Amino acid sequence: MTTKVAFLGLGAMGAPMAVRLVRAGYDVVVWNRTAARAEPLTTLGATAAATPAEAVAGAEVVVTMLSDPAAVTAVAEAVAPALRPDAVLVEMSTIGPDGTRHVRELIPASVGMVDAPVMGSVDRAASGALAVLAGGTPRDLARVADLLAVFGTVTECGGPGAGSARKLVLISGIVAGVTVVGETLALAERLGLDDPRAVLEASPLSGLAARLFADGVDFSAEMAGKDLRLAGEVLDLPVMAAARQVLESAPDQDADLGAAVRAVNQKR
């Protein structure tokens, strides 16, 4: 029988991920706070629900892909009474280990939970090339292994919360690194180097430089700043705090991380 999946959150990342589940043959019910975002999914065969609780009714797997801890908490509170006792909640948002633990406390003990945030942007979400960082009990991980593989390469990171922890570590380093490389580019331009971008791309900074100029991605300055805030709640991290201040000064908070960093440095 086809597995029924509730997918909650159809933002820049959630929408292409939900599309992949529909095309993989899952029985998908979708919900989004802005209902119009569900319409393209219904043309592909998904069912749209009016509320999160309606979406999860009868679902064997529930996937959440939302913006921040507050949004995930609100949805978890809304769906908790409606979850099947044997369902598995797959939390794929970036909310950190503390946020993951809070969600675990909100849902019934009989419901399984896997934290599986992802690395990669909308281009990789659409092509199924995300890096999925999964944490959970062996039983829960096994139950959703095939579903997670639809999104990309799955790395089992350890017990509950391990995926969220690894994601926070990696994304914080990348966001801060891109911010610093943006300033490095500004320094190179001020010093009059020929083709500063090429200089960076031919150096050990090439990976971060590539992300600074990446096309077809959508990881906003606002969301990048949120991730650094979550890291700062775990530990006092002065460099990351400074990077967050840079991102918060970006004129367009909806702009992709790389574009936002370049825009800040163009004003120097």
- The rounded distance, in Å, linking the Cα atoms of 217 and 237 is 27
The alpha carbons of the chain give a radius of gyration, in whole angstroms, of: 19
Let me know: does 65 contact 91? Beta carbons within 8 Å.
Answer: no
Count of Cβ atoms closer than 10 Å to residue 268 Cβ: 9
Distance CA 255, CA 257 (A): 6
Integer Cα distance of 218 and 255 in angstroms: 8
Write the CB contacts of 43 (distance below 8 Å, at least 6 apart in sequence). none
Look up 267 and say whether it is catalytic.
no
- Tokens read off for 197: 């971008």
Active-site choice (4, 167, 226, 267): 167
Which residues have a catalytic role annotated? 167
